Structure 1
Amino acid sequence: MNKKLLLLIILSIFAIMVSACSNNNSSSNESGDGESDQKLTVLVEGGSPAETVANETSDAFQEETGYEVVIESVPYTGVYDRMRTELTTGAGAFDVATIDTIWLPALYEGLEPIQDIVTEEISGDLFPGLIDGATIEENVYGLPTWTNSKILLYRKDLFEDENNKSKFEAEFGYELGPPEDWEQYKDVASFFGNNEDFPELYGTTVFGASSGDSVASWLDHVTQAGADNLIMNEDGEVIVDDKYHVEALNMLDDLVSTEGLVPENTLETASAETAELFYNGNLAMMLAWGHFYVPANDPDTSSVAGNVGVAPMIAGEGGIGGVPGPWYQVIPSSSKKKDMAKEYLEFMYEKNELYADALGVAARQSVFEEYGQEEKYSHLAPLATTLEAEQTQNRPSTDQWQEIESEALIPAVQKVLGGEITAQEALEEAKEKIEGIVN
């Protein structure tokens, strides 16, 4: 009996030890420290440069760290939806995500601060406003992958034609060239705009489609008018109906209202439609995101390839200005591998030139300088000029931006460009809607 009792005691102790070891292994695997769980899951937009570069660098990262990169790709809106789900459930489904700047204010409370890896060397090589754009309540939540803004693309063959130059100077009193301000932009659009000399051509386009693209385009001109803030000031006061916002919308309305300057379907036009018209040879110039320059000069995608010139964004009374469109890599707080995720962000920063290869833009100034020496990337110098301009500024940092944009700003732009009401009236309406949203 004593031997049996002793055997039972020994077996019980052994079972407890096995259970404890099992629990320890489980805990190790959950934290991501166990050898059997050396995987880092990265969320990206499917078909985007983020997915391209993630795939190109995955083997090198695994060789350097021992961690396999598992890439999860979803459509554009799916990135935001997956982030919201992750931050709500805390499931730890992925460790890094590449997100649009407009989502940061709505997501930051579920993100890991990363200012400990943003050294002076890193921030010193990034364009102005990039770190500020990812800083909320004194914490940095994202490291930029690329940044962008609209610049001027134009038809060199039209602008350098001696007959066109002679006629333009006779009509407007100055030499034909890439326009530098609002007045010159309208003059050039008028000269090439669907008239007897150019029946198959329009001067440019105005973005009026029901999308954020139209709002961003209008806000470009608000910065140029001299605004210190967009939509709301630093105290949270809604200023969308001030003179700068009104002047910019009036300028666009003037282009639309003057016959022949832009195609008639303004309320259906944004970046994609504008690019198609330009690539097909139906526009003299366009204000487009900088990376559009590469396909515009590609014979496989553009009938005007080889004849495309590029210049900085146009200026208003306040000077050159625009609204950047950066993307950031972020780390969900729910990740169980935060240290390795930070290593991944630093690793990808060192590979930033790959975004220039994939998209035509990057985040580091040094990449702009290096690639800008190649003819293929001639857009990078004027894009850098625009990004560094004093009036260039980010959209307001608010977690209600998407609602403000869809419920107040897009309708305001469309009502004005559609000829329903004046810019002042539309923006006063928009102010009331925005105050209702934020309050």
Structure 2
Amino acid sequence: MTPINHRRRRALRVAPTAAAAVLALGLGGCGAGSVASSSGDTLTVLVEGGGKAVLMPIAKEFEAETGTSVTFVELPYDSLYERLNTELSADQVSFDVAALDAPWLSYFSPGLLPLDDMFTDDVKGDLFPSLVQEAQVGGHFVGMPAWTNAEILYYRTDLFSDPQQRRAFKAEYGRELAPPTTWDEYREVAEFFTQDTDGDGAVDLHGTDVKGAVETEWLSLVLQAGAKNVVLDDDGRIVIDDAFHKAALDAYVAPIEDGSAPAGASQFDWATSQNLFNQGQLAMSRFWAHAYTQVPEDSPVHGHVGVTTMPAGPGGAAAVPGAWYLSVPRAAAHQEAAQEFVQFAFDHNELGLDSDLGLAATIPALEAGAAEGRENLSALTSALDEPGSAPRPATDHWQEIVDSVLIPMLQEATTQAKSGTVNTQALLDRAAKQIETIVG
């Protein structure tokens, strides 16, 4: 796919401060598409593996237009967090720009340069509201969205179009077989496709899966249940034990209770789920949108995968955005060139669609990129455009909450569901007390 050169160029407005005045001299009032050269600088960008792929084509174009070279330091997810934590807390950094996962923005915000003047009305209008919301910490924008993601529903088109399956489904449920649009339909379809396809007496196809070792899928169900926030409300109050979170946890473990999800859910992470689907062992899976173009050619489901938004609960088909942001540390050695790169990356956001990850952050880029073979972008845009879609809480403690409370709770819930002993409200009540000890 060729780059989509549809975006208009925008000037970078600068705040009237002494530091900003220096920046203004460097930019000379140029539009972001014709950035003033900072030739001679070399920018170091700290990034996680998948993010490097998105930023590489942008970096090449930036170097061609400005003369500023870009060097990437690529780290695994956990190592990236530790590197950021070590260097930002010491106020001594070895990088000029960093790609930050959305939940990290609040924690690292004291060490990040405000980017408020980049967030013009035009910029905000090109972003999903949830991305604008989570980019802002303590009244300042501390990250510019570089790409975004969300979970969508994957389903096997070969199964859904099979005449024999369609006849059997209609005979059992009294309606046509189609990708589910509601929780109830999702559960029915998952039950139906849990089958012994080779007649050996053992189930070899499950209708769906449950990922007990990750939290985002359940958080999306919380929003679909009708909650306005997940785990904490806008004022920082703990809401994990309310009726919305219980309804979501009940729906989460239901496929385990009825047997339509495979055993071992407490240990299932994203990689496990992706492998099961690509091996043809699942009829449906809720998964991140980027994976649509990554089904191996030798997979039995290659060419037989459809996508749509996740089934809607009482609150709609909401999703949790999985956005990454470009931030500039206050201690960066090349702040001027770093801000130029961040602005340039936004104004050339569509270039990320040509990467292996195939993602962007802006609405115009995602809409223009949606085409045959890129149906996932339409599903992604629809998911993020849902009124109920919302970011994770802006709290310094989020990563600790996830690691020490949410994932252990989900693993226990999936284990108990398999044995038929799950008490979802008790699990949520205990989680609320654990979170209280973390947030104070």
Shift of 1:172: 0.9
Seen in structure 2, the aligned counterparts of structure 1 residues 219 and 53 have a Cα distance that, compared at 3 Å, is closer
Does residue 390 of structure 1 match 2:387? Answer: yes
State the secondary structure of the residue aligned to 1:316: coil
Deviation string for 1:212-236 (max 9, x for gaps)? xx21111111101101111111222
Letter of the aligned partner of 2:351 in structure 1?
Answer: L
Show the counterpart of 1:4. Answer: none
The aligned amino acid for 2:41 is Q
Shift in alpha-carbon separation, 1:58–1:252, aligned structure 2, 3 A: closer
Report if the CA contact (8 A) 1:232-1:396 is conserved. Answer: yes
For structure 2, the 5+ residue unaligned runs are 1-25, 27-37
* 1:378 corresponds to which of 362, 375, 379: 375
2:41 is aligned to: 38
Distance 1:104 1:163 in 2: 51
**How big is each residue's C-alpha offset from its partner over 1:67-119, in whole Å with a ceiling of 9 and x where there is no partner?**
22222222212222221222122224211011111111110011000011222
| Alignment partner, residue 411 of structure 1 | 408
Question: Given residue 239 of structure 1, which amino acid in structure 2 is its aligned partner?
Answer: V
Q: String of CA shifts for 1:370-419, please: whole Å, max 9, x gaps.
A: 1112x110111121111110111111111101111111111211111111
2:365 counterpart residue number: 367
The Cα of 1:128 is off from its aligned counterpart by: 2.2
Matching residue of 1:437: 438
* Contact 1:123–1:131 (Cα < 8 Å) also in 2: yes
Please name the residue that 1:183 is paired with: 184
Residues 54, 221 of structure 1: alpha-carbon distance in 2 compared, 3 angstrom cutoff: closer
| Pair 1:221–1:36, CA change in 2 (3 A) | closer
Matched residue type, 1:337: H
| Aligned equivalent of 1:291 | 290
Match of 1:225 in 2: 225
Superposition pairs of residues 47-126 of structure 1, within 5 angstroms: 47-48=49-50, 50-126=51-127
- The alpha-carbon distance between structure 1 residues 54 and 311, as it changes in their structure 2 partners (threshold 3 A), is closer
Give, in whole Å, the separation in 2 of the partners of 1:242 and 1:197.
Answer: 44
CA RMSD of aligned residues (A): 2.1
The amino acid that maps onto 1:247 is A
Deviations 1:112-158, CA, capped at 9 Å, x for gaps = 00011222222211222112111011100111111111111111111
Aligned residues of 1:117 and 1:342 also touching (Cα < 8 A): no
Percent of aligned pairs with the same residue? 39
| 1:201 paired residue number | 205
Per the TM alignment, residue 421 of structure 1 is displaced from its structure 2 partner at its CA by 4.0
Task: Map 1:165-176 to 2 at 5 A.
Answer: 165-176=166-177
Q: What letter corresponds to residue 380 of structure 1 in structure 2?
A: L
- Bigger shift: residues 70-79 or 157-166: 70-79
Q: Is the 8 A contact 1:416 1:423 kept in 2?
A: yes
What is aligned with 1:241? 241
Q: 1:352 to 1:251 in 2, by over 3 A?
A: same
Residue by residue, what CA displacement relative to the aligned partner does 1:193-214 show, whole Å, maximum 9, x if unpaired? Answer: 13468842110001112xxxx2
- The aligned counterpart of 1:138 is 139
1:231, 1:396 within 8 Å by CA — same for their partners in 2? Answer: yes
**In structure 1, what is the equivalent of residue 300 of structure 2?**
303
In structure 1, the gaps of 5 or more residues are 1-31
User: Would you say the 8 A contact 1:130–1:326 is kept in 2?
Assistant: yes
Which amino acid in 2 is paired with 1:370?
A: A
Partner in structure 2 of residue 9 of structure 1: none
1:1-40 paired onto structure 2 within 5 Å: 38-40=41-43
Instruction: Return closer, same or farther for 1:196/1:78 CA change in 2, 3 Å cut-off.
Output: closer
Q: Distance in 2 between matches of 1:190 and 1:363?
A: 36
**In 2, Cα distance between equivalents of 1:58 and 1:254:** 46
CA shift in 2, pair 1:250/1:434, >3 Å:
same
Q: Is the 2:205–2:282 contact (alpha carbons within 8 Å) kept by the matching residues of 1?
A: yes
Between the aligned partners of 1:336 and 1:202, the Cα distance in structure 2 is: 53
CA distance in 2, matches of 1:379, 1:332: 33
Using the size of structure 2 for normalisation, the TM-score is 0.86
Q: Which residue of 2 aligns with 1:271?
A: 270
Q: 1:390 to 1:60 in 2, by over 3 A?
A: closer
Return the offset for 1:53. 4.0
Q: TM (normalized to structure 1)?
A: 0.87
C-alpha deviation, 1:36, in angstroms: 9.5
Higher helix share: 1
Q: Determine if contact 2:197/2:204 at 8 Å carries over to the other structure.
A: no
Superposition map of 1:328-339 within 5 A: 328-339=325-336
**SS of the residue 1:376 aligns to:** coil
**Residue 282 of structure 1 pairs with residue 285 of structure 2:** no
Paired positions, count: 399
